[in-house]
A and B are shown apart, each in its own frame.
Chain A
Amino acid sequence: MRQQIFRRLITPLFLACAGIAATIHGVWFHSVQVINEKEIEETKQIPVKPTPTNLLASDLHSSSAWGDDSSSGEGAPGKATVSQSEPAFVVQKIKRIADVPKMEFEPSLLRELTVGGVTFHAGELRRTYQGDTPALCPT
């Protein structure tokens, strides 16, 4: 009788334990890589061409600035020059979309799946949105 009860219980209890083990594995140990597309703002220094706009006003009015050396003293330049103290680069902020991989545990992945937030594309998981999570499943 005891053996019969044991035989009767062993399969469902084994399966129930397997179910619990699968759930625990999914919650704490199973993670997958999801590619997020993120807008990244980068700061770049772009070189600028020298222009005569940075001449001093006094230079513009002086004849020496226009190549007339007759009235000038020593050291006056013969043509328009760029002041060496001005920066040669312009700082510009550029926005671009970059792929950012992130490991997601299964509960988080499940939440994304319920709203169609993850798709399988070219052999990798990609998030389908940027910013706020979609409110509804696409189906």
Chain B
Amino acid sequence: MKHSRLSRWRIGVQSGFLLAWLDPFLLRMHGFCSPVFHCHSCPLATLACPIGILANGSAIHTFPFIALGAIVFFGALFGSLICGWACPFGFLQDLLGKIPTPKFELPAWAGWFRFAVLLGLVAGIPFFFGEDSPFFFCRLCPAGAIEAAVPNGVQQAVTGQPILWPSMVKVAILATFLASSLFTRRPWCTLFCPLGAIYGLFNHVSLLFVRFQPAHCTDCDLCHKTCQYSKRSEGRASDPRCIRCLECMQCNALTIGILTRSDEVRTRTV
């Protein structure tokens, strides 16, 4: 599976998942969580958002077994492949990233900020200050703004209902991320996404991983050139910043592995 075919597959798979999350059969199964970052307040949301449920669960001091179960299950099987291939908000940023504008790279350490968001905005602040806090995660979430606040506002306007205007802070955060998606790859995922932070941790142990075969490596540096996130393709089997877009598999030395892990990845200079 090489470059052109893989890229085409990825967009197709992302589109398919987007359709699945947008509740095509109007099931609204909000008693269960999806494995992706998709706001459950979206008028077309099949499942609940796991991060929204974690934040709300923290606010009501209740352990959300279903949300954590879904995250652990999908994380253990796929790691951050969910981010690269199934997440609708990541897909939106990917589409914006295709607009030909100059792109700059974020420093690798910026990825650690996601854990601060997870511990602070998703777990800590809701637990101690409740869901009324202005720093409650859902009140700031840009995915909630574009997937729920905007469509609901449009729906209210069209049906002649009084419009409930979303918080300006939320809209400003959304605008900032949409604008920055033009100049860097997936800014939300690399800087703030708490779900990506969790899945990134699973990259160390997930069933599916990117396998480096040094025997096939010709030092062409293709893996570095194709990697849009951390320029550490061959060592990224367990890199928490990797979203497993699998673009690096254009190189013959990289394949998807399941049964055996290639420890040789560490032998190569990054």
| Residues in chain A within 8 A of chain B (CB atoms) | 4-5, 8-9, 11-16, 18-27, 30, 32, 106-111, 113-116, 118-120, 125, 136-139
Contact = CB atoms under 8 A, between A and B. Distances in A.
A110 B52 CA distance: 10
A31 to B, nearest CB: 10
A11 B136 CA distance: 34
Contacts of A109: 62
Contacts of B104: none
Given A27-B66, A110-B31, A125 B260 contact: no
A30 B77 contact: no
A98 to B, nearest CB: 22
Nearest to A14: B76
B9 interface: no
Interface stretch (B19-27, B53-61, B86-94): B53-61
Interface stretch (B67-75, B178-186, B188-196, B228-236): B67-75
A116 B39 CA distance: 13
Given A110-B48, A113-B60, A139 B139 contact: yes
A136 B60 contact: no
Contact of A32 (B33, B59, B62, B73): B62
A137 B31 contact: no
B168 interface: no
Most buried by A among B40, B67, B73, B205: B73
Contacts of B136: 139
Nearest to B28: A111
Contact of A20 (B31, B60, B69, B260): B69
Given A107-B31, A114-B40, A114-B41, A23 B139 contact: no
B66 A119 contact: no
A39 B75 CA distance: 45
Given A110-B53, A120-B60, A120-B130, A137 B69 contact: no
B205 A11 contact: yes
A107 B131 CA distance: 20
Nearest to B148: A137
B31 A111 contact: yes
B143 to A, nearest CB: 12
Given A15-B205, A19-B75, A30-B63, 13 more contacts: A15-B73, A15-B75, A16-B207, A19-B70, A106-B31, A106-B66, A110-B53, A110-B64, A114-B48, A119-B130, A136-B164, A139-B131, A139-B167
B57 A25 contact: no
Contacts of A115: 41
A125 B60 contact: yes
Contacts of A27: 66
Given A12-B207, A110-B32, A116-B131, A137 B66 contact: no
Contact of A15 (B40, B59, B76): B76
B259 A114 contact: no
Closest 6 CB pairs between A and B? A19-B73, A107-B31, A26-B65, A22-B69, A15-B76, A23-B69
7 contacts: A14-B76, A22-B68, A106-B64, A110-B53, A113-B57, A120-B59, A139-B131
A136 B260 contact: no
Given A11-B205, A27-B66, A111-B30, A19 B60 contact: no
